[in-house]
């Protein structure tokens, strides 16, 4: 295990001297810009697409805000914090034709470099600076005096300063208060995508919905089924977040713990082959190709998934329960 680096170990010079263009002002873009400025990076411009709803917010936060091409034309380093699936298009159409020679490229998720959406020129430092967590938490933890754990990697080091820039950028996000570690683009991209597909999003939602279906098929009311398979997830997730899986087991009933342990092998046997297929699908770049193709077809596949999700019977049960819970207040 590599030791963590903390704020005191890191030279903040690389972010103080460079003009940084932050492309995208969503959850990560806004948090990065605000934290970096608070940590001494004063030369920041925000790059947004024409008609962006975030334009007014970036200006209200006191940032010079420009079209993506113009911001990219001004900067020593571009932090591409727009939606991953749009990185290829943004790079080809707006950044690559306008970037000055030697401009560094920073991403906060390995996706677009690892799966070939961007083919950076040899003169660019190409850096991953990932504060691990949702963008809103990058800012909220910083405001409380903390930070998220940060991981850095260098894909290309044209200047000899890529590593120093990566570490300074993460320290500027507040990660130096929590711990900064090295990784690789491959490791970060695969871990992030496998985690969300197999467990956090795909896995969790499938277990919850399948549990709801099994209970309602057995004649249990949708309200009761929803409470026991979806609504209570939060309590268990909070316990795991605070105390780990064993700590969660200590906090629940022995009946729940015994039953949970007993069914684990059967569930693991059913899902492990699926998880291994996900690893292969992500590693080969096939998932990235399908997702970018869907983005280019106006997200037709994503829209169909959303429609089907909204029509699942657990949605109506959840809406009814949430209304009930607020009515008595
Ligand atoms: N390291 C981690 O743990 C972690 C966690 C979550 C996310 N991330 C990464 O953070 C990055 C941004 O995610 P986010 O959560 O901040 O997303 P977000 O809140 O949805 O914000 C996305 C931003 O991208 C902009 N954008 C989308 N399409 C664009 C286009 N075609 N041209 C120009 N701008 C475009 C949006 O512009 P408008 O404002 O105009 O709509 C918005 O400002 C992604 O690379 C994501 O993978 C990393």
Predicted TM-score (pTM) of the model is 0.93
In the chain, which residues have pLDDT < 70?
none
Do 134 and 111 form a contact (C-beta atoms < 8 A)?
no
What is the model's pLDDT at position 328?
Answer: 73
Q: Which domains does the chain have, with CATH numbers?
A: 7-183 (3.40.50.720), 201-327 (no CATH)
Do 141 and 148 form a contact (C-beta atoms < 8 A)?
yes
Question: Residues 6 or more apart from 122 whose CB is under 8 A from it?
Answer: 156, 158
The catalytic residues are 109
What residue owns the CA closest to ligand 1's atom 28? 83
**Pocket of ligand 1, candidates 21, 24, 129, 137: which has the most ligand atoms within 8 Å of its Cβ, to mutate?**
24
What is the model's pLDDT at position 255?
Answer: 98
Per DSSP, what are the bridge partners of residue 24? none
Do 108 and 126 form a contact (C-beta atoms < 8 A)?
no
- Ligand 1 centroid, distance to 27 Cα (angstroms): 7
What is the model's pLDDT at position 326?
Answer: 87
pLDDT tens for 110-143 read 999 999 999 999 999 999 999 999 999 999 999 9
- Return the ligand 1 atom nearest residue 86 CA: 31
What is the model's pLDDT at position 108?
Answer: 98
- Ligand 1 centroid, distance to 81 Cα (angstroms): 5
What is the model's pLDDT at position 2?
Answer: 79
**Pocket of ligand 1, candidates 58, 63, 82: which has the most ligand atoms within 8 Å of its Cβ, to mutate?**
82
Pocket of ligand 1 (CB under 6 A): 24-29, 48-49, 52-54, 68, 81-84, 86, 89-90, 108-109, 130-135
- Ligand 1 centroid, distance to 231 Cα (angstroms): 28
Interhelix angle 300-310/286-296, rounded to 10 degrees, is: 90
DSSP one-letter string for 227-274: IIIIITHHHHHHHHHHHHHHHHHHHS-HHHHHHHHHHHHHHHHHHHHH
């Amino acid at each position: 295990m590599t030791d963590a680096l903390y704020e005191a170990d890191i030279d903040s010079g690389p972010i103080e001297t460079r003009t940084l263009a932050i492309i995208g002002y969503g959850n990560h873009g806004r948090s990065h810009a605000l934290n970096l400025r608070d940590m001494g990076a004063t030369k920041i411009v925000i790059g947004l697409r024409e008609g962006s709803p975030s334009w007014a917010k970036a200006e209200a936060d006191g940032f010079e805000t420009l079209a993506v091409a113009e911001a990219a034309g001004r900067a020593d380093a571009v932090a591409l914090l727009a939606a991953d699936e749009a990185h290829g298009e943004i790079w080809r159409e707006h950044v690559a034709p306008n970037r000055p020679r030697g401009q560094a490229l920073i991403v906060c998720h390995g996706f677009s470099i690892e799966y070939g959406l961007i083919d950076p020129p040899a003169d660019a430092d190409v850096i991953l600076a990932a504060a691990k967590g949702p963008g809103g938490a990058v800012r909220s933890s910083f405001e409380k005096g903390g930070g998220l754990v940060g991981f850095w990697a260098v894909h290309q080091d044209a200047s000899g300063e890529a590593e120093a820039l990566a570490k300074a950028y993460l320290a500027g996000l507040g990660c130096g208060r929590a711990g900064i570690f090295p990784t690789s683009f491959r490791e970060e991209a695969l871990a992030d995508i496998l985690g969300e597909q197999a467990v956090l999003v795909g896995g969790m939602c499938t277990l919850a919905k399948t549990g709801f279906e099994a209970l309602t098929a057995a004649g249990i009311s949708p309200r009761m089924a929803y409470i026991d398979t979806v609504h209570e997830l939060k309590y268990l997730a909070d316990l795991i977040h605070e105390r780990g899986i064993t700590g969660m087991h200590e906090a629940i009933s022995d009946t729940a713990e015994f039953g949970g342990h007993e069914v684990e092998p059967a569930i693991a046997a059913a899902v492990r082959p699926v998880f291994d297929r996900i690893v292969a699908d992500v590693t080969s770049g096939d998932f990235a190709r399908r997702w970018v193709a869907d983005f280019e077809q106006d997200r037709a596949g994503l829209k169909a998934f959303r429609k089907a999700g909204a029509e699942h019977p657990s949605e109506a049960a959840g809406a009814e329960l949430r209304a009930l819970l607020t009515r008595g207040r």
